[in-house]
Chains A and B, each alone.
Chain A
């Protein structure tokens, strides 16, 4: 594309390029780690600074964090149920906040100002490895939740309400992480690509509404991921009678 400056003079677009780091036998996507660390750092800083001086009168950052806490608590409570939601609230909250900050951080921070040797910085959730890791964590969590709450009786869930459900429920255990990871990955990557392509074609004005739409869908995706994770955990700990 560099050879066609008169047709596409404004920007370049590259997909599938990564900043590889070699770690033993594993090649890892360095740009994902860089943005993740930065965004996790920002999130931790916000939370630590915001809760450093707690006051009775919630002001500023403390108020925002308490609002988020309330929000996550309500989400976890409605999905998991009154009995065990407290055990899982930190997990759900971490998922929601990390995904939300990743999505918005990827969309709002002008990462492209920094040029990497290969690939480009962006939302960590636009990389399939991140979302698969998160989805597998959710799978582990709901298995752990079910087994720790009900012991081996957890497996009654597979034949509930009739044994005919057994194959479907087994398949579900595979489709759950699959759908979780692909939904998040696909949405965020598509959003980034749409913006990139638009910038590539019409550099000004037109990308702005699409970017706002992207912000909206990223927020929704974070909410969907957290809600589904909580729902799966709630399904695993639910008592069948």
Chain B
């Protein structure tokens, strides 16, 4: 569980300890590294932690590939983009606002959390190898059915792929996902590429 010593690490990412149901991103990373064994119900039973674990798993897969791509021994990944991705992951763990889903029943109140939708958007990176989504924001009154909503997200891409192609594919994938899983009136999907990752550009200092 989170204690006061852990709090600065989360706050460095612009987050609060409560965002991961009392756990830290390091605890979740250790749990992932241990193969999620022994099972910890305080993590497994937390939707926020599960969202973060899914995204951490993808992040680790990409950072692992980056290291494997480089023949030098265990270079440190550039912390700036890793931090941006991590801060987005933990942001997803916040349930945030509740987005309504229509029901024919007058006594039914159906919805999906903003955090679940951000996680859904982030998982679009599964479809485009090497792409990592950083922050994702839903801009608009998402609690009102039919209100216009813009999706704003940051991404990190591997060096070598034409950025316009990657953006086009990412935008299409995010659109498909939002249409399939929500009733949001998405009026735009704005993508900013914050980082182009090139392992060969890491400095000797970075390599340790």
Whether A and B are associated in the same complex: the answer reads no
Chain A residues with CB under 8 Å of chain B are none
